[in-house]
Structure 1
Amino acid sequence: MHPRRSRPGGAGGQSGRDKTAVTAARCAVWGAGAIGGVVGASMARAGEDVLLVDVVAEHVNAMNDSGLVIRMAGEDERTRVRAALPTAVRGTFDIVFLAVKSQYTQAALDAIEPHLHARSAVVSLQNGVNEPHIARCIGAERTIGCLVDFSSDYQAPGLIARARAGNLFVGELDGRATPRTEVVRSLLAHSTTAYTCQNIMGFVWAKMCKGTIDATTALVDENALELRFNRKYHPVRAQLVREAVEVAAAEGVQVAAFAHFDPAPFLDRSPAGREAAFLVLDEIARGQAEGNSKIRTGYWRDIVVRKRKTEIEYITGEIVRCGERRGVPTPLNRLQWTMFEEIESGTRPMQWANLDQLDAALAAIAQ
């Protein structure tokens, strides 16, 4: 790897930063892994007042001792950052970017709440629909939603590998355009193109819908970029997305289009609608492959590399639970969720037969 830029100065200091800060807000990134690490390093490099918080002591020590390395396209960019374990955090923050796995949301909120003041905001950079839960815990007036659409992986303490650049979308839960969402957008724009929007839950649910497709890549032990192009399983993917979009509609959410994803064709059951949905899936495959060196998804890495449970319960599982509550059938998502639980427990292998079983289940649904 070729070193691109190294920042001088101590891990706890401000020296050596670019003087391009866009705000005086005191910020924390809570969870400095794949997503939080990229966002936090980008903010620190721009001179923002940001603390990276993580529960992994080796990661915190590496960041403080040597900086945080973001590896992209064969080049390393090392940035001096301030990092701490949750128990070492002191004071309050104006903005907290929450970037922990969904299963750790409540534990993180318990640790974050003492560090909020009346006008603080927590911005969810997570997968799943966590914003309503965050709002119940700390108040809707202190909760901001975000869709993260870039690819990265935690590789080792102090090292994040970044792949596809992507975009970020941020917005108030009630759809208002506010000065603070522009501040948040500006902070996030240090890491990639960022937008404000007035239908943030529509974007969050859009990623949920697309996440049902991403999950299929961990049912087999294959190159995820190539697997997405395999049209044999487009009918399965289309049904998974259709169920999710229908659940979102029952929840009162209008699923948004973003990047290469458009929800509309998945609700059209005509032959023309089917082909239009397949074309969207083709575009998603092309979009994921463009400029992307990451051939495995986070789902696969959690199971095979990190040896831990995935976030499937908070994505596919949430779709199934919402469907039950609203009376919307989600048979294929339910089956996929069951498969994941069995793969995670070691009772089911990653194999092509899993996709074939989903395909057979879809055929039975259609009868």
Structure 2
Amino acid sequence: MADPILIWGAGAIGGTLGAYWARAGHDVLLVDTVAEHVEACRTTGLTIFGPVEEFTQVIPAVTPQELTGTFSRIVLAVKAQATKVALPMLAPHLKADGFVFSAQNGLNEIEIAAAVGPERTMGCFVNFSADWHAPGRILFGSRSAVVVGEIDGSIRDRTRAMHALCREFEPDAILTDDIWSYLWGKMAYGAMLFGTALNHDSMSANFADPARLPAWLALGREVVAVALARGVTPRGFGEFDPMAFAPGKPDEAAIPVINWLRDFNAKSAKTHSGIWRDLAVRKRKTEAGAQLNIVPKLAAELAIPTPALSAVGRLIADIEEGRREQSPETFGELLKAIT
């Protein structure tokens, strides 16, 4: 494909991927709504910093209003709640035989497929740690899993090509015929990360506290129960095995997984989740409405109760609207909801 890799959303995920691909010699074009970030990327360059690697890469970048042309590959890397707004903006720039590659957290492939068509949608599981810190500056906190797959389970030439591209960023990137299993596995972990944002402790400190264990068990179990009811067997990354939270599994099966999350996050320069950063630093809405809350909706269709997921969604909304603060007391409300 001769046209540039168009990355729609040049924040933590999209900016990091774009910087690595551009440095490797690929033709990349970034699209972002933050004009100052766009200007920095295309003039002085996008700086990736942190313990993994540090470098600065000048990358062509535009705002959505400046974008012209059509593209074969559009990497969608916006926050889940921005997907609905981004899709009609990017659709005119997607070639008839092109595809949207969802480098996002959550189950956004469902919404993308409804908008541009299942044939023009490709899934991706991303779990590396990164944070947008300022225009032209992204913290790359730690490496982790990247998985590429078609939402219909097929493996095509275009799937192999995107997998090869992702391997230039993450050499251990996986090509799969079951991307939904990875996306649902990430949802189990992601639900817990939303829980950690209810207070100001680090992710590792949250997972290390035995008093908070019931929350992680409940959140993991609710997500996995919904996935299994939908015919998906969730897969994890590293030693995070979401099936340890499957219905009927004892606490003893899941505790080592929580302990691994404690240790895994302790090694990253990114100490808090992006959800926490949205609330505490950037003072903006999180992905809860678009990413987390979809699971209780799907659960309701199957008559599966989700008190923990519903409580986290409600409490995050309270923090976003200023009705609560991130605090031990707010986390305590989650624990009350599951007892």
Normalising by structure 2, what TM-score? 0.96
Residues 52 and 140 in structure 2, CA contact (< 8 A), matched pair in contact too: no
Tell me the residue number matched to 1:187: 165
292, 296, 312: which one pairs with 1:316? Answer: 292
Residues 203 and 265 in structure 2, CA contact (< 8 A), matched pair in contact too: no
Tell me the residue number matched to 1:276: 253
Tell me the residue number matched to 2:304: 328
Deviation at residue 75 of structure 1 after TM alignment: 5.9
Residues 28, 325 of structure 1: alpha-carbon distance in 2 compared, 3 angstrom cutoff: same
Question: What amino acid maps onto 2:176 in structure 1?
Answer: C
Residues 204 and 261 in structure 2, CA contact (< 8 A), matched pair in contact too: no
Tell me the residue number matched to 2:103: 125
Is 1:165 aligned with 2:136? no
Tell me the residue number matched to 1:108: 86
- The whole-number CA distance in structure 2 between the counterparts of 1:194 and 1:131 is 19
Is the radius of gyration larger for structure 1 or structure 2?
1
Equivalent pairs counted in the alignment come to 338
- Residue pairs, 1:129-278, within 5 angstroms: 129-192=107-170, 193-269=172-248, 273-278=250-255
Residues 164, 362 of structure 1: alpha-carbon distance in 2 compared, 3 angstrom cutoff: same
- The whole-number CA distance in structure 1 between the counterparts of 2:247 and 2:259 is 17
- The whole-number CA distance in structure 2 between the counterparts of 1:322 and 1:150 is 27
Deviation at residue 316 of structure 1 after TM alignment: 2.4
Residues 75, 261 of structure 1: alpha-carbon distance in 2 compared, 3 angstrom cutoff: closer
Tell me the residue number matched to 1:13: none
Deviation at residue 330 of structure 1 after TM alignment: 0.3
Cα distance per residue 1:222-262 (max 9 Å; x no partner) = 22222221122112111111011111122222211322221
Is 1:70 aligned with 2:58? no
SS in 2 for 1:187: helix
Question: What amino acid maps onto 1:286 in structure 2?
Answer: D
Residues 77 and 104 in structure 2, CA contact (< 8 A), matched pair in contact too: yes
Question: What amino acid maps onto 1:316 in structure 2?
Answer: L
Residues 75, 184 of structure 1: alpha-carbon distance in 2 compared, 3 angstrom cutoff: closer
- The whole-number CA distance in structure 2 between the counterparts of 1:254 and 1:183 is 26
Cα distance per residue 1:95-114 (max 9 Å; x no partner) = 11000011111221111111
Question: What amino acid maps onto 2:261 in structure 1?
Answer: I
Tell me the residue number matched to 1:5: none
Tell me the residue number matched to 1:85: 63
Deviation at residue 190 of structure 1 after TM alignment: 2.4
Tell me the residue number matched to 1:8: none
- The whole-number CA distance in structure 2 between the counterparts of 1:133 and 1:109 is 9
Deviation at residue 133 of structure 1 after TM alignment: 1.2
316, 326, 329: which one pairs with 1:340? Answer: 316
272, 275, 283: which one pairs with 1:299? Answer: 275
Residues 39 and 190 in structure 1, CA contact (< 8 A), matched pair in contact too: no
- The whole-number CA distance in structure 2 between the counterparts of 1:241 and 1:314 is 18
- The whole-number CA distance in structure 1 between the counterparts of 2:312 and 2:53 is 37
Show structure 1 runs of 5+ residues with no match.
Answer: 1-22
Aligned-residue RMSD, C-alpha: 1.5
Cα distance per residue 1:288-341 (max 9 Å; x no partner) = 222x11111101110111111000112321111111122111011111111111
- The whole-number CA distance in structure 2 between the counterparts of 1:302 and 1:71 is 20
- The whole-number CA distance in structure 2 between the counterparts of 1:284 and 1:293 is 14
The sequence identity of aligned pairs, in percent, is 38
Is 1:53 aligned with 2:31? yes
Question: What amino acid maps onto 2:256 in structure 1?
Answer: L
Residues 260 and 287 in structure 1, CA contact (< 8 A), matched pair in contact too: no
- The whole-number CA distance in structure 2 between the counterparts of 1:82 and 1:158 is 12
Cα distance per residue 1:146-183 (max 9 Å; x no partner) = 01110100011111111011121010011111111111
Show structure 2 runs of 5+ residues with no match.
Answer: none
Question: What amino acid maps onto 1:352 in structure 2?
Answer: P
